[in-house]
Structure formats: structure tokens, C-alpha cells
Amino acid sequence: MTTETPKIAIFPGSFDPFTVGHESVVRRALKMFDKIVIAIGFNTTKTAYFPLDKRIAWIKKVFADTDRVEVYSFKGLTVDYCKSVGAKYILRGLRTAADFEYERAIAQVNKAMFPEVETVFLLTLPQHTPVNSTIIREIIKQGGDASQFLPSNYNIRE
Amino acid sequence: MTTETPKIAIFPGSFDPFTVGHESVVRRALKMFDKIVIAIGFNTTKTAYFPLDKRIAWIKKVFADTDRVEVYSFKGLTVDYCKSVGAKYILRGLRTAADFEYERAIAQVNKAMFPEVETVFLLTLPQHTPVNSTIIREIIKQGGDASQFLPSNYNIRE
Amino acid sequence: MTTETPKIAIFPGSFDPFTVGHESVVRRALKMFDKIVIAIGFNTTKTAYFPLDKRIAWIKKVFADTDRVEVYSFKGLTVDYCKSVGAKYILRGLRTAADFEYERAIAQVNKAMFPEVETVFLLTLPQHTPVNSTIIREIIKQGGDASQFLPSNYNIRE
Amino acid sequence: MTTETPKIAIFPGSFDPFTVGHESVVRRALKMFDKIVIAIGFNTTKTAYFPLDKRIAWIKKVFADTDRVEVYSFKGLTVDYCKSVGAKYILRGLRTAADFEYERAIAQVNKAMFPEVETVFLLTLPQHTPVNSTIIREIIKQGGDASQFLPSNYNIRE
Amino acid sequence: MTTETPKIAIFPGSFDPFTVGHESVVRRALKMFDKIVIAIGFNTTKTAYFPLDKRIAWIKKVFADTDRVEVYSFKGLTVDYCKSVGAKYILRGLRTAADFEYERAIAQVNKAMFPEVETVFLLTLPQHTPVNSTIIREIIKQGGDASQFLPSNYNIRE
Amino acid sequence: MTTETPKIAIFPGSFDPFTVGHESVVRRALKMFDKIVIAIGFNTTKTAYFPLDKRIAWIKKVFADTDRVEVYSFKGLTVDYCKSVGAKYILRGLRTAADFEYERAIAQVNKAMFPEVETVFLLTLPQHTPVNSTIIREIIKQGGDASQFLPSNYNIRE
């Protein structure tokens, strides 16, 4: 083994809502990391659609089968949160080329501010490519049934 | 620790030539993996500019300071090579959106053929974004000095 | 003929305002479809710049020369509106690669929710590539003359 | 019905080989067009991997269940071939943003040369996004099993 | 010399805040133009984070070493402002492919409205690629230290 | 005036063939530069479709109306050719996002090798967006009429 230090990654996002695509990325990344902290950025000025406490509770339920996934909210810079939980890795899923350019800018700025952090990207599965939180949230707002895009035990009506 | 099995990644490519961008990706990935196998795809029909044995020797010299990087050539499918060396991870660097779309197709096809394999992407550093082997090779062909784009102890005149 | 059922497409959007690019897409698509329903998404929370009734009236005037184009507003999911008017096709124009990625996500989610629907894309003409409603609206807001980007009989001062 | 003239589309390509993605596009487009002519561009200077007669025979077998799909090869400009078979539509599938930019240039040049022709784009299904002929051909060249990416009754060993 | 008329370019933006990337573009462009007018678009409806007078004062200080850079705010269309200051060139920096598509639409619409104007693009330096005002502003909002992304004599705490 | 030194730009390419898009970029750039050297890269290993001497003669004829455009071929690195003709600017046209990513890599590597050189980008006009040499050459190879995509006095049959 290369190191005794546990490999901790944070998976930051607003998860408004958390989708099947997010779940798949976390489950596949669990093979690489010892612990994954799902970190919900808490922004006082920008209002989310789903309440923060609901989002935390729903995601916790999705990963009730493992103690290697933790779910928290955080304020401030992502890199500061990494330092506070001892994470050297930021995990992100990539769906499209547009995603990529946005993610690259964030990741390179994060590395400029905290050189020891590394952003690690996994691809979403092909069938999850169109699933993004904005579209899913819009379906729910319009009264549609979005359950096929949400984790199987994720009940947004709870 | 989550597992006793060593985490092995292959870093496949033609590396014609291996650049500072490639070196940076491997060195940063060494924190995540126990062993990285740099795997030079050997294609009988498509001729490389630099001879295979030279490329292997040069890359070995770059990583002479660690025994956790190995350098080999391989024939056939990348996923078959992964199986043969026990690698569950394919490591790739991402520079641009155009890169991303190409890499995504390859990675998703690889996963369809070998579902246990995961392609893991790191970003190149901002200053390495324009450095790709095709451009560097062209500079060398035209008699230019490409040393700033190559690993410091990588002597293509050797 | 392959079928007796009329081929109905909806052309959804906010059309705030409807541009020469939109008109061109609809006119060219009229050769493929028996009826095109221009469907203005009605969103109670997001305010449009031009009033809904004005937008409907202006677009109706553009297509006063044909009874195969109808103009309505709708609430709720696009796929539900398709079902309600018997449309099996969603028509969209594509201008740029950024457009494409956004449109692809929407279209693939729509198909996941209503598998019989097919989104059909036509290209905008080269000279219409830079014409998008956001830019045109901004020109009008700033007091500029945007008439070259609007259908010839589309009078936003009416 | 808007017209008595049958709606004919050509689906041009080299199909080296024809994939599940191609099949899906043609089958979905059959609802929109009366006849689809799969038109294999025949290029004397650029050599395909699979022989032309094999490609024609394989594709014919895929669509043996319908007489509304025809398979031919052609030389010369795509727009000239459209005129010769009476096609006013060129059908293309779109997978990625990189695809889109290439397809847009071809389609806009075609329209400049033959203004009555319209290129109509359908999306590939999400699960077919990574499937392109170049990657599939490479798998076959390397001795891999590509059957999951080929139409079910398409036997490249025949 | 080709002309006696001074070559004047405007460099329009909201500069909320002005970054090292912006500074680099202006300094390199000073070799091509006789005068560069940094023109801060003044939008009554959209609120900037930093006050307009602060942004003007900060940028003036950055270019205190040259009288060929002027800093103003403006209302209305960019092309009208060009006319009012006698500028035939609009200067813009390009970082990413996403930037490019947005900039192209704006530039082509500007040219349609004022055919004598030419938008001239310079690239940002590789190390400035991830630096955009939105990300930098977010860092400052969260209380982070963004000084490495700002011009050296640009003190946002003044 | 900022400087007594004439502003010289090179416009490098293979121009196989030179198109209306190329002509438009050069004519618009003539307002910015004192001299533009159209520099045809001469590559001994890669064969062009049109002979080098023909391409030079055709382009010279296009710009017979001005003595501020010169046409030459060159071998070796573009930056070395810049030095040899005293050019501090490399002029390039941008059509698409795919173009942009390729051009950015070349330009950033050129600047790394010759820091005084600046690559200056102009956009092609919207109607020229689909016109690229590869597509035009293919039309000519297939016996089609490409005259609408070529400069008006550019006779490829001469």
C-alpha cells in the first residue's frame, strides 16, 4: 500500500435534487476512496428548490447501506471545506463538453488556491448523460413524474 | 483501508512523444494508485515517428525515481491489457473539450466491454493545456527546439 | 403514403421575441409536417420581456399566409402538451454546439418520459447563426433597431 | 395530407461498419419518411475496411423486414445523388457536439449547392452515444467482440 | 503607415472584477492599437457586485503607467458607443470554446448593426484560462483570497 | 501613432484551396496591418491536392489590387518564418468552436516559442462559416462546381 492515510474525497454540489447520475458516480468512486463526503454547498443568497434538510436526509437514505459515505452541508470555499475534513480529492462527474469547460475552470482555480487538492473526474454512464438537476427539477415543478431519474429509494414526496 | 488489493491503473497512449503534460498527470495520479502501468499501444499498421524501444527507454528514465511506475508496450484491446495486468483503472489526462468528447466515447465503449474498469480523468495543469504530442512532434520534425514541452530528463537526441 | 394520420409537430419555445431564425425553421419544416403548433411555454415564475398575448399575436401574423401553423401557449410538461395536441414530433432549430448540448439533454429526457415522441432538428441558415432571442431582446431593451433580425411583418411596436 | 409526392430521404455514410446507432436512426426516421435510401459513398481513393458489397449485403439484411429502406452505393456529390433519386431530405444522426460542428458545415454547404434539400437530424439514443464506426472498427481489427454495438442480425463474419 | 487615423479599440465588459486575464489582453493589444477604451457596460436592471465607481478607479490605477488606456462606463448598445468614441475595433479575450460561441454571436450581431466595426480576439495566456470574473467574484464573496487572480496593484479592499 | 515600425502579420495556411472565407479575413485585416504575408506552409511529406505554384499564382491574382499583401511559401516553423520576415502578428480566421480549440493550442505553443508574437483572430462572416478547404476540395475532386466558395477572380481551371 502506498500510504496509511485514508483517501478522502468530497463530492460537492447543490444536489437540487440528487439524481441517479450522482448516485452512480459516488458508488463507482467508492472503490477508489476510503471515504466520500457528499458536501452540499450552502449559499445564503441563492435559494434552492428543495430544502437543505430534506436533501441531506434523502441522500443519507440512498447511502444507508454504507458507512463510507457521509453527507454534510458547508459554507465558504470548497477548498477550505476540503482542508477541514482532510480531503485531498474533489470528485466530480462529467456528462458533456459544456460541463467539462465549466468544471475545468473551477478545478484549476481550486488547485491554484490549494495545490495539494486534486479534482478527479468520472464519466456518467451513457444512459445518464441527459440527466441534470436543472431539467429534473423543472419536471418536478411542472408536476411531472421524475422518478426514473432519481435514486430508487429517494422519495421527494417524503 | 477499504481493500487489500493493490490499486493498479494503466495509462495508455502512443506517447509519440511523452510530454511534460503526461508526466504531470502520472505524478499526480501516483498519490491515488499503488502502481501505474504506462502502456504504449503497439499498432502494426500505423507507424509512430519515434521508435517504440526509444519511447519505452525515455519514459523509464523519466520515472527512474520510483518503482511504482512501469512501462510496457501492448497489442490488442486496451481492456484486455487491463485484465492481463490486473488493472481496474484507466488513467487519462483531459486538456480540452475536444479531447473530452473523444475520451468519453473510448471510455464508455471500454466500460461496455469490461464493466469493472473505470476510466479516471485528471486535468492537465493550465500551462500544459496547449501541449499535445502531435504539435510537439511537428516542432521536432521541423527542426525546432521542443525541450520546454518535454520532461526535463527526457533526451530525444539520445 | 406511409400513414393516414396527419404528421403534427410542436415547435416549443418562449419566443421572447420570435426571430427570422425561428421563422425560417418553421417554413422549411412545413414541407415535412402536415401541421406545426408553435407552443409558447407559459411559466408563471419566470417573467418574459414581451407580453404573452403580444407574442401570440405577432407570430400569428407572421404565418397569416398558411392554415397549417397554429400558435398557442401552454403550461406544464412539453411532452404532456404533445399528447394533448396529438403531436409525435418536437421541432427544434440548431445554431451552435452549445445549443446542441442543451437541446440533446432536453430531447433525451423528453423521449425517456414519452418514448413515442421524436425531436427533429433543422439547422438555422448560416446568416441566422448569431441570431438568438437573448441578444435581440437586449438590443431592443437598449433602444436599438433589431428589425433586420425579426420577421418582415413582425412589428414589435404594434 | 400536405402533398402527394412521396417523402424520400437519403441516409449517406460509409457505414464501415453500420452500427446499432445507425439502425436506430433509420427505424425512427421511417415514421417520418416514405422511403429511406441508405447511400454508401463510394470513394475510389480512400479504402474502407469492410468490402463495399459486404456492407450493402449486411445492411439489406438488417432491413429485410421493410420495403421502405433501400441500400445503394454512389459516386460523386451527395446532392447530385439526392437529385438522381428524387430525395429532398438528407437524414443524419447526431451524437456529440463535435459531430454537430462537422455535420453543420457539410449540411450548409449541401444546401448552398442544392437549396431545395433539407438535412434532418435525429439524436442517437443515450446508450448509443459512444458508438461510432471508427471505434467499433478498431475493436474488430484488434480481434475484439463488437457484437453488442452491431445490429442483432448483422453478421460481420458472414 | 497605412493610415493617419489613430486606431482606437474598445474593450467592453462588466469587469466585476477586472482580472489578471483582462490586464494581459489589454497590455498585449496596446502594441496593435493607438488607444484602448475600457468600456464598462452600465446596466440599470442588472446589479453588479462591485460598485461602478470602484471598478473604474481600480482599472485606472492598473493602467496609470500609460495614457493610451482610458476607462469609461457607457449605456446603450456597444456599437453606438464605438461610434461615439470613434472606435473601429472591439477587443475581446478568448479563453474557452464556450466563450468562443458566445463571443461569436455577439460579434456577428454587432457587425450586422455596424458593418465597419471589427471584433479582434486575442487569447488569454494558458495560465489565465480558468480565471473568469464569475469564479473570482464568488471566491471574494465567500471570504477567500483572490489576489493571485487580480492585477498586482488592484486593491479591492480600497 | 504608437510606433514607426510597420505592423506586419503573416497569414499561414495550406490554402488547398484559398476560399472566400480566407479572402474576407485578409481584406478586413488589411485595415489593421501595414502588410500581410500570406505564407503557404510547404511540407515535403504531406501532399497537397493543388500544386504549390498554382496556389501562389491564384492568391497573388486575388490580391492584385493591393501591394500590401504578399504571397510566399515557407518551410520550417511558423515562428521562425515570422522572425525572418519581421512579423510580430499571426493572423487567423475562426469559424467554429472546434477550430478554436485547435487554433488555441497552436497559438499558445507559438507564443511559448516566440513570446513577442501575438496571434490575432478575426471571425469569418456568418455566411462563410461552413466554408472550409477540406469540404471545398472534396467538391472539386467529385467534379462539382465550387465557384461560389472561391474568390471571384480565382480560377482553379487556369
pLDDT tens readout for residues C12-34: 999 999 999 999 999 999 999 99
d(C-alpha A74, C-alpha B90), whole Å: 32
The yes-or-no verdict on residue E153 having pLDDT over 90 is no
Domain of residue B40 covers 8-149
Contacts of C97 in chain E (CB under 8 A): 97, 101
B97: closest chain E residue by CA: E97
- In the complex, which subunits touch F with 3 or more CB pairs below 8 angstroms? B, C, D, E
Question: Which pLDDT belongs to residue A5?
Answer: 86
Strands of C118-123's sheet in order across: C69-74, C35-41, C8-13, C89-94, C118-123, D118-123, D89-94, D8-13, D35-41, D69-74
Q: Do D31 and C123 touch (CB under 8 A)?
A: no
User: Which of C97, C148, C149 is closest, CB to CB, to E101?
Assistant: C97
For range F43-64, the mean pLDDT? 89
* D126 in any annotated domain: yes
Task: Give pLDDT, residue E1.
Answer: 46
Report whether pLDDT(F43) > 50.
yes
| Residues in Cβ contact with A135 at an 8 Å cutoff, skipping those fewer than 6 apart | C105, C106, C109
Residue C58 lies in a domain: yes
Q: Is B14 a catalytic residue?
A: no
Give the three cell numbers for residue C71: 400558435
Chain F residues whose beta carbon lies within 8 Å of the beta carbon of residue D102: 98
What's the pTM value of the predicted model, to 2 decimals? 0.94
Whether E109 sits inside 8 A of C130 (CB atoms) is yes
Q: Please report, as a single letter, which amino acid is at residue B106.
A: I
CA C124 to chain centre: 12
Dist CA A113 CA E142 (whole Å)? 13
Q: Do B129 and F108 touch (CB under 8 A)?
A: yes
Nearest Cα to B136, choosing from B153, B155, B149, B126? B149
The whole-angstrom distance between D108's CA and the closest CA on chain F is 6
Q: What is the mean pLDDT of residues F54-60?
A: 96
Whether pLDDT at B22 is above 70: yes
Whole-number pLDDT of residue E5? 86
Active site residue B147: no
* Element holding B103 (H helix, E strand): helix B97-113
Å from A123 to nearest chain D CA? 12
Q: Is residue C156 part of a domain?
A: no
Whether the Cβ atoms of residue B119 and residue A120 lie closer than 8 Å to each other: no
The residue that leads in pLDDT, D157 or D122, is D122
The answer to whether residue E2 scores a pLDDT higher than 60 is no
Comparing alpha-carbon positions, the chain B residue that sits nearest to D139 is B77
pLDDT(E132) > 90 = yes
Reported as a pLDDT band with limits 50, 70 and 90, residue C156 is confident
B4 burial level (CB within 10 Å; 0-12, 13-18, 19+): exposed
Q: pLDDT (tens digit, 9 = 90+) per residue, C46-103?
A: 789 999 999 999 999 999 999 999 999 999 999 999 999 999 999 999 999 988 999 9
Distance CA C140, CA C153 (A): 17
- Domain assignment present for A50: yes
| Coil, strand or helix at D24 | helix
Asked if the Cβ–Cβ distance from C143 to E113 is below 8 Å, we say no
Measured distance CA(C85)–CA(C14) in Å, rounded: 18
pLDDT at D47: 84
The three-state secondary structure class of B135 is: helix
CB contact under 8 A, A108 and E98: no
pLDDT digits (tens, 9 = 90+) for B71-104: 999 999 999 999 999 999 999 999 999 889 999 9
The pLDDT of F86-92, averaged and rounded, is 98
Say whether F132 sits in a helix, a strand or coil. Answer: coil
In a domain, D156, yes or no: no
pLDDT band of C45, cuts 50, 70, 90: low
The predicted model gives B40-66 an average pLDDT of 90
Instruction: Report angle CA E74, E76, E77 to the nearest 5 degrees.
Output: 105
Chains in touch with C (3+ beta-carbon pairs under 8 Å) read A, D, E, F
In CATH, what number is assigned to the domain containing residue E22?
A: 3.40.50.620
Residue D158 placed within a domain: no
CA of D158, closest CA in chain F: separation in Å? Answer: 33
The predicted structure's pLDDT at residue A1: 46
Is B128 assigned a catalytic role? no
Query: What is the β-pairing status of strands E89-94 and F35-41?
Result: unpaired
The yes-or-no verdict on residue F13 having pLDDT over 70 is yes
Q: What is the structure's pLDDT at B4?
A: 66
Size of interface D-F (CB pairs under 8 A): 42
**Residues D119, C118: C-beta atoms closer than 8 Å:** no
With b for 16 or more beta-carbon neighbours within 10 A and e for fewer, the F85-94 pattern comes to: eebbbbbbbb
Residue A46 known to be catalytic: yes
With b meaning 16 or more CB within 10 Å and e meaning fewer, what string describes F38-72? Answer: bbbbeeeeeebebeeeebbebbeebbeeeeebbbe
Q: Do F130 and D113 touch (CB under 8 A)?
A: no
pLDDT of residue B1: 46
pLDDT in tens, chain A (158 residues): 445 689 999 999 999 999 999 999 999 999 999 999 999 998 766 789 999 999 999 999 999 999 999 999 999 999 999 999 999 999 999 999 988 999 999 999 999 999 999 999 999 999 999 999 999 999 999 999 999 999 987 777 66
Q: What are phi and psi of A140, to 5 degrees?
A: -65, -45
Predicted pLDDT of residue B95: 94
Chain D residues whose beta carbon lies within 8 Å of the beta carbon of residue C118: 28, 31-32, 122
E strand segments, B34-126:
35-41, 69-74, 89-94, 118-123
E154 falls within a domain: no
Closest Cα of chain B to D118: distance in Å? 27
**Domain presence at residue C22:** yes
Burial degree of C53 (CB within 10 A; 0-12, 13-18, 19+): exposed
- pLDDT of amino acid D154: 73
Provide the β-strand partners of residue C71.
C38
Whether the predicted pLDDT of E145 surpasses 80: yes
With CA atoms as reference, report the closest residue to C91 among C64, C69, C119, C63. C119
Per the CB < 8 Å rule, is D97 touching C101?
yes
Number of domains in chain A: 1
